[in-house]
Structure 1
Amino acid sequence: MTADDRSFPVYHPAALDGVRRKRMIAFLIDFTLVCILWLIACVIVGILGVVTLGLAWLLYGAVFPIVAILYSGVSIGSRGATPGMRAMGLIFRLDTGEQPNFWQGAFHVILFYVITSFTGGLALLISLFNSRKRLLHDMLIGATVENA
């Protein structure tokens, strides 16, 4: 399989075998890691709050989104997959076959949380009805998650 072939997994069903199940497990791994990083960031903000006489405590509401965006943007942008995706043998590819950059990885996670928040997760069911097993936020940025 050449690099050009991998950009079109619809022609290679083996590239999509078990992707839904692997993505769910990868999400749980990534969410756990983001929560650990969030707790560390909260401790740092707490200490900064003491130093700044409470001013830094205004950041608490933004800590989780910032950590999640940085986590996904850096990991997808630098390695083409989050640590959870790599653990499950998945890779994140753009429809053009290119590796995504930081902004595409960050936008991907922003779309995921916004879409699942407003639809209560029902938008995730869209993967059951398309041949490439893509979710709504994958389609919006033109990406596919496939087996590495």
Structure 2
Amino acid sequence: MIKGLYEAHLPVKDLKRSIAFYKKLGLELSHIHDHHLAFFWLKKGESWLGLWETQQVELDYHPSIRHVAFHVTLESLRSSVSWLKERQIAPREAFGFMPHEPFVMAHDGIAHAKIHFYDPDGNSLEFICKIPNPTNIVGRMYLSEWETIYS
């Protein structure tokens, strides 16, 4: 039945500022609706992100309502910290990891590498990719540590 995620939505205070920010991330603007809603393609023709301009952006943060994770390649993730900084976007601390490089969370035979950052309204964003975990390591570590184990 379900084949993937079609859309996700985030609240923003200034739609023009947010459009500029998400363009810096490389997303393609699909359309603007009624001057308060913008849609960006995540994967053209398959999924998109909606940004709703509202005065109620200051909702208490909880990852279930103000978080979007963007799937990226491992190669892109390796350079993500410098890529974000080149665009004046600061990676942020997450799960106790400082933002100087991506980190890995591994459990139950699955591992993901990731880096977190915020949009201008404090919505939590993440670049993430699944990585091989052939020996079923469980735990958390920086990506460089992970790659030392599997090099």
The answer to which structure, 1 or 2, has the higher relative contact order (CA under 8 A, 6+ apart) is 1
TM-score band (shorter)? under 0.3
- TM-score (norm: length of structure 1): 0.26
- TM-score (norm: length of structure 2): 0.26
Larger strand fraction of residues: 2
Larger helix fraction of residues: 1
